[in-house]
């Protein structure tokens, strides 16, 4: 049951505004020290899937820098390890019109691989999942494609890339795409399993017939006309959908809940790996007051932080107060500054005494390197 | 196999038992003892090497090397996984004629002459894995070359009152050493040897072989090789080192060195801006969770920890849990320790993987000026609920 992996690094960039202006969804910093792709990469290597293609179309400098040779995930192999699949300079299509189109560009990667199955993963949903269990479930089902789904996400308001309904026997009864599905639906986590040879065939056929989108132009019509047997794997663990700025904000702060933390990290055999930065341990000064925060290494804390996520190397000045905020790496918060419902991207400097305030649904975002 | 010539090869002596660290080195070589929240003692000389441009380091192990070997691995965290050179762990090995353990610091190097020869170096840097400091060895090497010294010994200035505890180098105006006194009752100067030497390789090689052939020798650098060089008219120079340096060979010095990392202007600043970055093997852990119920002051707290209790003037390593109602003060808590509610820990070193159950009381407080007796709990021990470990007690 040999399996390879494909990670789509940036399909939904436009929905996160400034945060994904100059970086892929996959390289979006999360949770104090991770980038979103760490979850898919780690889930794959934890399942022994080491032949992985990362498909990315633009803004991938920081992603490549982060992943490097793939060493932290044990992927630095001469052959059969990690490969970046960037748009070919020769291809007249510099921009992918959808995942099928992207896969078409990666065709030689697919055809020259030897694995039987492929796990395809988007970069917007964070979870710690056992891919071996998923693959076994897929094989046992006899289906052509298995989609990994999560209950409790569809709420009639959130637009889902794909949503399914299942019957009592867990058979898929309905597939909807780009739909604000109601609670009776299960949300696709953007994780699919299928046979590699079938994927190659489908991609070739689809693109030749002007069809580019994986869910809309392949899975849904296949299900509808019966040519595709679709199986749903109901994932029971913590799955965070970071597909909008508000979700990204809420899902970071959600880490302050023990259940979420424990659902994502430190699951036996499912460690989430990331690039190491060799910072010194964080220093908590005498005047610091840290209440219900996640704090990464390298911080120097003299002020107050409440219910916030502090990434690596953050400097929090005396009498500064940070509440319900996400402060990314190396940001500097001056003395007496006040921040609430704010996302500071990396290297932002907030001057002494400055006040910045967003709301829970509309956090104020300062882009990388901004000086206030 | 092809070996490239190296200008300078470092040999790091990491084989000693470090018996004065008692339970902390019961099953672990001293260089593998945790330090500073996320490091191990050996990270300091290793990082200094790579920061100084020395990419070939032999690490001589002997005592309880398992953890140390695993920790070093292929040297990748210190950027020492190279095709040419890099880090190489050197345990004693069986030979066809004579197999023996390392019987002294000089003998350990002697037995590894074949390793050094592969790189045909001009200089060999001898380091030990016991010290906490940041140093630019390249500057010391330039000094050695400039003086055309056969042997250069790094020295630091110690208070005259304490000089009798050290190996003291008496020097001329130009830094050349004319006399070496081990723990002199009446010290003539305050240049204490740091146990860091740079030798011209061909000279060192010659003296190592001669020393090995002397059955009355202790095969020790300080006791035998250095005096032999001195008395045979070779050129020895003292290189003055000004920065922070600590021999963490005793419980109290290990505790002090950890405490000296604390404060807004610490005696030893780990910051990479000040003297270079210290690399370590990092384990994948999420950021620490600092709860509302916690009260932290003047402390370093490593990643992957959950702090719910009160932490004051401490070094808390990675992966620790301090439950609500626990009080930890003036202490060094090594990685992956769990401290349950109601436990009170003061002036202590708690070894890796320990579990301190509720209400346990470890160590105590001391008045101003009183000698601090540091309680020690060895690796992977459990202290039962409400158990008391007295100040200075070791278990």
| Contact: B270, A293; criterion CB under 8 Å | no
| Interface mutation vs chain B, best among A39, A265, A284, most B CBs within 10 Å | A284
| Interface mutation vs chain A, best among B39, B75, B78, B286, most A CBs within 10 Å | B286
Tens of pLDDT, residues B141-192: 999 999 999 999 999 999 988 888 888 999 999 999 999 988 888 999 999 9
Q: What is the DSSP string of A238-266?
A: -EEE--SHHHHHHHHHGGGSHHHHHHHS-
pTM summary value: 0.92
Who has greater pLDDT, B77 or B83? B77
| Interface mutation vs chain A, best among B35, B50, B287, most A CBs within 10 Å | B287
Tens of pLDDT, residues B298-307: 999 999 999 9
pLDDT score for B166: 86
pLDDT score for B250: 92
pLDDT score for A89: 42
CA B116 – CA A256 distance, rounded (Å): 53
Please state the separation of Cα B100 from the chain's center in Å: 25
| Contact: B287, A273; criterion CB under 8 Å | no
Give the residue on A whose Cα is nearest the Cα of B306. A294
pLDDT score for A7: 95
Q: Tell me the chain B residues in contact with residue A255 when contact means C-beta distances shorter than 8 Å.
A: 286
CA A255 – CA A263 distance, rounded (Å): 10
Q: Tell me the chain B residues in contact with residue A281 when contact means C-beta distances shorter than 8 Å.
A: 36-38, 300-303, 315-318
Size of interface A-B (CB pairs under 8 A): 107
Q: Tell me the chain B residues in contact with residue A71 when contact means C-beta distances shorter than 8 Å.
A: 76
| Contact: A278, B36; criterion CB under 8 Å | no
Q: Tell me the chain A residues in contact with residue B296 when contact means C-beta distances shorter than 8 Å.
A: 284, 288, 290
Cα–Cα nearest to B10, from B113, B124, B140: B124
Q: Tell me the chain A residues in contact with residue B271 when contact means C-beta distances shorter than 8 Å.
A: 280
Q: Determine the 3-state secondary structure of B90 from DSSP.
A: strand
- H helices of chain B, where? 43-51, 66-72, 105-111, 113-117, 137-146, 201-212, 226-231, 251-259
CA A263 – CA B9 distance, rounded (Å): 48
Provide the residue-wise pLDDT of chain A in tens; the chain has 372 residues: 699 999 998 766 667 888 887 788 888 999 999 999 999 999 999 999 999 999 987 777 888 888 887 888 888 776 778 888 877 644 555 567 788 988 988 899 999 999 999 999 998 899 999 999 999 999 999 999 999 999 999 999 999 999 999 999 889 999 999 999 999 999 999 999 999 999 999 999 998 999 989 999 999 999 999 999 999 999 999 999 998 899 999 999 999 999 999 999 977 888 999 988 889 999 999 999 999 999 999 999 999 999 999 999 999 999 999 999 999 999 999 999 999 999 999 999 999 999 999 999 999 999 999 999
| Contact: B287, A294; criterion CB under 8 Å | yes
| Contact: B289, A265; criterion CB under 8 Å | no
| Contact: A261, B271; criterion CB under 8 Å | no
CA B93 – CA B98 distance, rounded (Å): 10
**A261, A276, A310 ranked by CB distance to B286: nearest:** A261
**B264, B271, B317 ranked by CB distance to A280: nearest:** B271
Give the residue on A whose Cα is nearest the Cα of B316. A281
* ipTM for the complex shown: 0.92
**A265, A278, A306 ranked by CB distance to B277: nearest:** A278
| Contact: B300, A33; criterion CB under 8 Å | no
Give the residue on B whose Cα is nearest the Cα of A72. B284
If you average pLDDT over residues B196-209, what whole number do you get?
A: 96
What letter would DSSP give residue B187? -
* B271 touching A (Cβ < 8 Å): yes
**What are the backbone dihedrals phi and psi of residue B145, each rounded to the nearest 5 degrees, phi first?**
-70, -40
Token pair for residue B181?
Answer: 């006194």
């Amino acid at each position: 049951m040999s399996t390879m992996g494909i990670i789509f690094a940036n399909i939904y960039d436009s929905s996160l505004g400034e945060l994904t202006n100059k970086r892929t969804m996959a390289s979006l910093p999360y949770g104090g020290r991770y980038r979103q792709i760490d979850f898919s990469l780690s889930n794959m290597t934890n399942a022994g899937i080491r032949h992985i293609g990362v498909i990315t179309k633009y803004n991938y400098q920081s992603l490549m820098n982060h992943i490097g040779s793939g060493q932290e995930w044990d992927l630095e192999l001469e052959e059969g390890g990690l490969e970046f699949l960037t748009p070919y300079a020769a291809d007249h299509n510099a921009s992918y019109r959808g995942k099928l189109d992207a896969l078409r560009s990666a065709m030689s990667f697919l055809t020259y691989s030897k694995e039987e199955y492929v796990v395809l993963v988007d970069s917007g949903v964070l979870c710690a999942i056992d891919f071996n269990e998923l693959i076994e479930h897929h094989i046992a089902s006899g289906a052509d494609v298995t989609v990994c789904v999560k209950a409790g996400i569809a709420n009639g308001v959130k637009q889902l890339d794909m949503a399914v309904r299942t019957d009592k026997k867990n058979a898929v009864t309905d597939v909807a795409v780009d739909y604000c599905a109601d609670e009776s639906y299960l949300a696709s986590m953007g994780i699919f399993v299928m046979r590699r040879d079938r994927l190659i065939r489908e991609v070739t056929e689809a693109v030749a017939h002007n069809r580019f989108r994986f869910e809309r132009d392949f899975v849904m019509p296949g299900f509808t006309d019966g040519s595709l047997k679709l199986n749903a794997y109901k994932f029971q663990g913590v799955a965070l959908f970071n597909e909008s700025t508000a979700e990204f904000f809420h899902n970071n702060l959600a880490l302050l809940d023990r259940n979420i933390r424990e659902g994502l990290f430190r699951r036996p055999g499912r460690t989430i790996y990331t690039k190491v930065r060799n910072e010194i341990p964080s220093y908590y000064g005498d005047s610091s007051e840290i209440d219900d925060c996640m704090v990464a290494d390298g911080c120097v804390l003299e002020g107050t932080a409440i219910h916030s996520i502090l990434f690596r190397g953050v400097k929090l000045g005396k009498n500064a107060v940070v509440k319900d905020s996400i402060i990314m790496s190396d940001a500097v918060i001056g003395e007496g500054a006040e921040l609430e419902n704010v996302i500071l991207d990396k290297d932002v400097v907030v001057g002494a005494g400055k006040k910045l305030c967003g709301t829970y649904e509309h956090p104020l975002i300062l882009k990388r390197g901004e000086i206030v | 196999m092809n070996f490239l010539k190296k200008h300078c090869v470092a040999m790091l002596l990491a084989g000693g038992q470090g018996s004065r660290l008692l339970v902390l080195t019961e099953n672990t070589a001293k260089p593998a003892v945790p330090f500073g929240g996320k490091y191990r003692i050996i990270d300091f000389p290793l990082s200094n090497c790579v920061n100084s441009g020395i990419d070939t380091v032999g690490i001589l192990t002997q005592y309880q090397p398992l953890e140390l070997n695993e920790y070093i691995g292929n040297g990748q965290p210190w950027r020492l996984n190279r095709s040419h050179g890099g880090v190489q762990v050197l345990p004693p090995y069986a030979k066809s004629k004579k197999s023996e353990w390392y019987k002294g610091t000089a003998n350990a190097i002697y037995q590894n002459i074949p390793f050094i020869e592969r790189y045909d170096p001009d200089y060999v840097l001898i380091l030990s894995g016991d010290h906490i400091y940041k140093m630019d060895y390249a500057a010391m090497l330039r000094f050695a070359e400039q003086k055309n010294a056969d042997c250069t010994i790094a020295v630091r200035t110690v208070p005259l009152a304490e000089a009798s505890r050290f190996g003291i180098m008496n020097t001329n105006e130009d830094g050349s050493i004319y006399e070496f006194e081990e723990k002199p009752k009446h010290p003539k100067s305050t240049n204490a040897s740091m146990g860091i030497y740079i030798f011209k390789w061909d000279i060192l090689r010659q003296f190592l072989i001669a020393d090995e052939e002397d059955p009355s020798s202790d095969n020790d650098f300080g006791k035998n090789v250095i005096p032999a060089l001195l008395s045979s008219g070779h050129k020895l120079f003292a290189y003055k080192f000004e920065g922070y340096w600590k021999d963490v060979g005793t419980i109290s010095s290990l505790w002090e060195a950890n405490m000296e990392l604390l404060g807004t202007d610490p005696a030893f600043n780990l910051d990479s801006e000040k003297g270079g970055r210290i690399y370590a093997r990092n384990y994948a852990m999420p950021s620490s969770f600092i709860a509302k119920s916690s009260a932290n002051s003047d402390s370093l707290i490593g990643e992957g920890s959950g702090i719910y209790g009160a932490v004051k003037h401490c070094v808390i390593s990675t992966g620790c849990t301090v439950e609500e109602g626990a009080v930890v003060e003036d202490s060094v808590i090594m990685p992956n320790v769990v401290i349950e509610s109601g436990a009170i820990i003061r002036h202590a070193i708690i070894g890796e993987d320990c579990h301190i159950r509720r209400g346990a009381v470890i160590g105590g407080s001391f008045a101003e000026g009183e000698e601090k007796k540091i309680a020690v709990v060895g690796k992977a021990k459990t202290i039962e609920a409400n158990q008391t470990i007295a100040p200075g007690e070791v278990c």
